[in-house]
Amino acid sequence: MSIQSARATFEFQLNQSKANALTPPFATGDNLFWQLEYCETYPNEPECFVVRLHVIPNEDELESILPWARRHELCATIYVINVHSEGNQQYVGKLALEMDKLTPDMKYRGFFYKKAKLAHNFLIGVTFSEFQTEARLVEGPFPNRKVPQDLIDAWLGEVNKQETVDVQFNVGGHIVYASSGVLGKRSEYFRNFFLRKWAESDEGMSSPSTANIRTRSKKKLSPIKDTVSEPSENGSSIKYTVNIPDFEYDTFLAMLRFLYTDNPNFSDEDGSPTSPLALMAISDKYLVVELRERAKEKLLKILNEDNAARILFDAAWKWPDVKEIVIDYVVRNFAKVRETPSFLNIDEAHPMAAKLLMQILKKVHVAQQRLTKF
């Protein structure tokens, strides 16, 4: 997935005929919404107007401070520009915002300026820089919506229901049934899988030129690009039989339930097959983008001083977007984290032990140097 830094400007034209105005919401990422506000009068300075950038918090940001880290990484500058009748424009004022001060209790940043400097027509705007763009289309709705419980129950009844499926997965000694139509709609991996661009063979993931799908037909297997899947001769509806060698049954079933219901069910128990780490791993492989984001957000919610080192060295180091957040947490809380069993018992044979520890210690050193300046 290609990711790069980008800049974006959101600008709105207003005039002094209205005392107050809120712009339409706009976004700098999946479920990262904002609004600009103009107020004719600043409470403590009646001769001044005020412009503010407001956060529209998502559900996870309302519950925890940790998901706000995505907003803290942004650089934002708000500004006001006069628009004169001849078309000329002139800056009234601008301010680089302290984005790391945004919290559930302080959902906006802004500035005030002398009202006498403001023309009848003017622009208010904000420029964001250093935010990450992704080379993918966000297919899921945003912000995240609540799925009605009766709809969840209805679709949950279809999970692993043999009568209405055409795919059989063999997972950890168990059989799991699913509909290729549902899977293809919810996952890019499975969409391509059933379009015969790739598949899971007995050995796991393989290239399009060599991968095979086992069918219940007695015909000789051929490469996936040439295979035509057919119902079996005994009238079974199963067209595809797929072996999943690298995930536990409960992990795969939890992902399948999410694909059907859009409702994740995470376990907080260490090492559980339905832990956020386990579901993040499987959703990462099968390109279930929304489940991965939900698992990431859940992981950050349960992150604490006792488990931070374990989470980092167990799996978070594999995902750059999670690794940096967890490392920053460890650095901010290093005095306590370094005394925990999960930190003291780091396996020296871990392939990334030396590199991660060096990265942590460098950041701790930089943070301590900054403190000594004040």
Question: Per-residue pLDDT tens for 107-146?
Answer: 788 888 888 889 989 999 999 986 665 544 444 444 455 5
- CB crowding 190-225: b at 16 or more within 10 Å, else e: beebbebebbbbeeeebeeeebbbbbbeeeeeeebe
Element housing 134 (H / E): strand 121-134
CB 175 within 8 A of CB 169: yes
CB-neighbour burial class of residue 76 (10 A; exposed 0-12, middle 13-18, buried 19+): buried
8 A C-beta contact, residue 114 and residue 24: no
Q: How many CB atoms sit inside 10 A of residue 309's CB?
A: 24
- d(CA 160, CA 257) in angstroms, rounded, equals 9
pTM here is 0.53
pLDDT > 90? residue 202: no
* Per-residue model confidence as pLDDT tens digits over 229-284: 344 444 567 888 889 998 999 999 999 889 888 888 898 887 899 999 999 999 98
Instruction: Quick: pLDDT tens for 150-176.
Output: 555 555 556 667 777 788 889 989 998
Helices 289-302, 249-261: crossing angle, 10 deg rounding: 110
Give the pLDDT confidence score for residue 238 in this predicted structure: 81
3-state SS class at 213:
coil
Task: Give the C-alpha separation, 190 to 198, whole Å.
Answer: 9
Predicted local confidence at residue 225, as pLDDT: 32
Task: Provide the pairing of β-strand 240-244 with 167-171.
Answer: parallel
CA 81 to chain centre: 35
d(CA 309, CA 323): 11
The whole-number average pLDDT for the span 182-208 is 62
Please give the average per-residue pLDDT across 352-366, as a whole number: 88
Confidence of residue 148 (pLDDT cuts 50, 70, 90): low
Pairing mode, if any, of strands 240-244 and 204-206? Answer: unpaired
